[in-house]
Structure 1
């Protein structure tokens, strides 16, 4: 097996040296967004970079301090819909997720502290920084192709295990009635979609699948630990300290992401707060079922199917 090559194979120093993936909003572009005109000409370059470039984009300079949360969310959502199609992030049907520490165990985006390197089960994840932490909380990203190459060079015996993949499960409330406890198929960490390299890794869902009846072999446990450890290495993981008004977009087929530990403000109004979008990209080849963790009847256009009783406000 040969190492992967291409613009999607990068190390931390490569992103630091080459910033074509960054866009600073011009005053005219901000005015356009505020007027509800979201399909900015430069979005074509963002789409191309996400799919066939580095796999990421950072759009900076949205003046969120002069907006309320509702207006900031509307602008972020509109820009996301200009890039792709926003989909539900949970059984609640939420298309805008709030990434903040509310102590909801089991969901990456509702607890504080550090987050391990992982990928979300959609094409693109977007974050808008409203308020940063008092200290820490940097976003960490890594090229899954570079991680693949590092594992191939250092532990080639683990690559077949990672390509075979793992069983997954999701939170019970995100499942349809009668759904199996774990995926009947294994989802590969490293694979291909339409002949192009693609990856997927959500360690918490693998560990939960083990608790639900899909035990890990010693080799699988070693491979899972190795790929997570490799993705977090300083030479591979690039840190971004997102400022208020920064919008980060990541291709979940190519980019692993995580978060450094942080200290929040004691003032509730100044706590770390990000908005999150899950996007499906209609021009991209669809993931095969074997590279999907949610059963078809649990998905809504690529996201998580909302439960009608919850969306309408009725509590079961």
Structure 2
């Protein structure tokens, strides 16, 4: 793979043109007001299925679907037909990955993920039946029914991320380590598709918490924190890219008034970023901002649930409706954690976002045919220098093209 200049990939050219951003090398290319959000008075009370807590979701059958023998046979038939036609992975869709019965179930999954509780677990696949490439085809084919567009997950254009421990490569990225992860969002993607090829020996539970419930509880107990979270003066680093950081809020609301968060502590706090940005003079968070950030973590934790993913589990998480994190974990010689992550988008169901965050989502999903994109079939496939660049990313605007 050819090396990529990261400074040219924070906003792809097509995104810069669409939003009338400047060119690199011609002075500041991001308008000062691009990410400014004028927070209207937020909803006084959030109701509905999205405002759940751990006290209301107490049984697995409230969010899990067990695949039947017929569903698994359909998947194998769809995989076989896809391979026989030699389709490109980037072109996978409902038509060329036909699931006549399971497809109807997945339509309801899409509705629940976008407009319901915000997450659904499919249980019953067997990754050991498939090769590395076939597992990616299966995960992509099923995900295409929830959201048909796939997002770029790195500046080098990878459409998939292998979440596993990579020893021998210097990286601070949480998804390549076994460290505990606080509640966060994955950049500005719509839906996270997470396929468990192998769970760890112990730990590693996925932690989920409703964004609506988190907002509601903060509004009731610390309403003074809401305008701080919605202020546009939060410094988010951009992982060695140009610009080095952007200012934008943590808290937003959709065009129809749904509150949601979009942030990661790793992009906000100095202790997470000194390994690569030490001495570059990024403005630190204020004491009030640190307090607000800690309140979000505390409230989200109080209302959260934990799910221990098994081999073959495929979970869909609405990245904006649900904050997610992870318990620390341990591998051994027999059990090593390995997940496949896709970022998917359903244009028909997608939330209507304010322009200040929509530009970041567009970076991930816009059609940029002049820039190649690809799938990593094995986590150790790429050249180590390319892999190290990917691991230092917080979830960026990358590239798109052919998977072959």
Q: If the TM-score is normalised by the length of the shorter chain, which range does it land in?
A: 0.7 to 0.9
Per the normalisation by structure 2, the TM-score is 0.68
Q: Which runs of 5+ in 2 are unaligned?
A: 1-42, 79-96, 376-381, 387-404
Residues 77, 96 of structure 1: 8 Å contact kept: no
Q: Hey, what's the Cα distance between the residues in 2 that align with 1:310 and 1:275? A: 14
1:289 maps to 2:328: no
Pair 1:218-2:260 in alignment? no
List gaps (5 residues or longer) in structure 1: none
Shift of 1:44: 1.2
Structure-to-structure mapping, 1:169-180, within 5 angstroms? 169-172=237-240, 175=241, 179-180=242-243
* 1:275 and 2:337 aligned: no
**From 59, 77, 80, the counterpart of 2:140:** 77
| Structure 1 position 228, deviation (Å) | 1.4
Q: Distance in 1 between matches of 2:239 and 2:366?
A: 16
Residue of structure 2 equivalent to 1:52: 115
Aligned position for 1:117: 183
Partner residue of 1:160?
227
Contact 1:95–1:277 (CA<8 Å) still a contact in 2? yes
Structure 2 distance, partners of 1:251, 1:11, is 15
Contact 1:116 1:258 in 2 (8 A): yes
Q: Which has the larger radius of gyration?
A: 2
Change beyond 3 A, Cα 1:250–1:302: farther
Aligned position for 2:9: none
CA pair 201-293 structure 1, distance change in 2 beyond 3 A? farther
The RMSD of aligned alpha carbons is: 3.0
> Match for residue 11 of structure 1?
53
Equivalent in the alignment of 1:199: 261
How many angstroms apart in 2 are the aligned matches of 1:225 and 1:127?
A: 27
Call closer, same or farther: CA 1:120–1:292 in 2, change over 3 Å: farther
Number of residue pairs matched?
303
* TM-score, length-scaled by structure 1: 0.85
Quote the residue 1:92 is aligned against: 156
Distance change >3 Å, CA 295–CA 98, structure 1 → 2 = closer
4+ residue segments displaced more than 4 Å: 208-212, 292-296, 302-311, 313-316
2:165 alignment counterpart? 101
Conserved in 1, the CA contact under 8 Å of 2:153 and 2:364? no
Alignment CA distance shift 1:287-1:8 (3 Å) = same
Displacement of 1:170 in angstroms is 2.1
Question: Deviations for 1:66-119, whole angstroms, at most 9, x for unmatched residues?
Answer: 222221121001111222111111123222210001155332321212111111
Alpha-carbon distance between aligned partners in 2 of 1:228 and 1:65, rounded to the nearest angstrom: 37
